[in-house]
Amino acid sequence: MDIEAKKQRGFGDRKRRNICIGLGVTLILIILILVILAFTVFKAKDPVVTVDSVALDNLSVRLDMPRATVNINLTIAVSLTVENPNKVGMTYKDSAALLIYRGEQVGEAPIPAGKISADESVPMNVLMTVMADRFMSNSQTFNDVVAGSLPLSTNTKISGKVSIFNMIKVHVTSVSNCSFTVLISNRTVSDRQCTYKNSL
């Protein structure tokens, strides 16, 4: 009777051990599959920020020839599209579109934080109004206005994160830069050239 009990106890131990080994192997396989998916199908990608158009919304120029100074009121309308190429949603923090004149920031438009669903593209429209005092303090503004054109550029940066399986959080960033010229005589924008950079 004792021998039979020992056999049954040994069989039970082997069964429990086999179950534990089976569960362990299954868990390892699940982890491996999740890791493979995280680096293939669900691999985090940077958002894509595309500048669709740059237009002049408002322009007012007043020259003071005797003092060789100029007063400018200028508003630039920029249409953007932010695309999330990931298979999961992306959240992005407060960002901004900057207006640059000859290397100096002269305007800014906030882009509030938000969320973009998987494989979704979201259009955004921003208005950038110049800081007149920064234009007036630049020694080249008067000459540019007299020449009839203002060389400007925009810089837009979107930073956020992608959460894969609610476990792996990856930071993603996209930057777009567009240079263009404002023609004062006919109040139009010309020579727009854009470059895009992602930095995962």
pLDDT in tens, 88-119: 889 999 999 999 999 999 999 999 999 999 99
Quick one: pLDDT at residue 168?
72
Dihedral angle computed from the Cα positions of residues 36, 41, 43 and 48, in that order, rounded to the nearest 10 degrees: 170
- Domain extents in the chain: 1-40, 48-198
CB 132 within 8 A of CB 73: yes
Q: Which CATH architecture has domain 48-198?
A: Sandwich (2.60)
Quick one: pLDDT at residue 21?
79
Which DSSP string do the residues of 35-95 spell out, in sequence order? Answer: HHHHTTTT-----EEEEEEEEEEEEEEEEETTTTEEEEEEEEEEEEEEE--SSS-EEE--E
What CA–CA distances, in Å, run from 182 to 3, 54, 62, 90, 151? 98, 10, 15, 35, 7
Q: Which residues pair with 152 in a beta bridge?
A: 101, 180
CB 86 within 8 A of CB 44: yes
8-state DSSP, 18: H
pLDDT in tens, 23-57: 777 777 666 665 665 556 557 788 888 999 999 99
Quick one: pLDDT at residue 6?
55
The mean pLDDT value of the chain amounts to 83
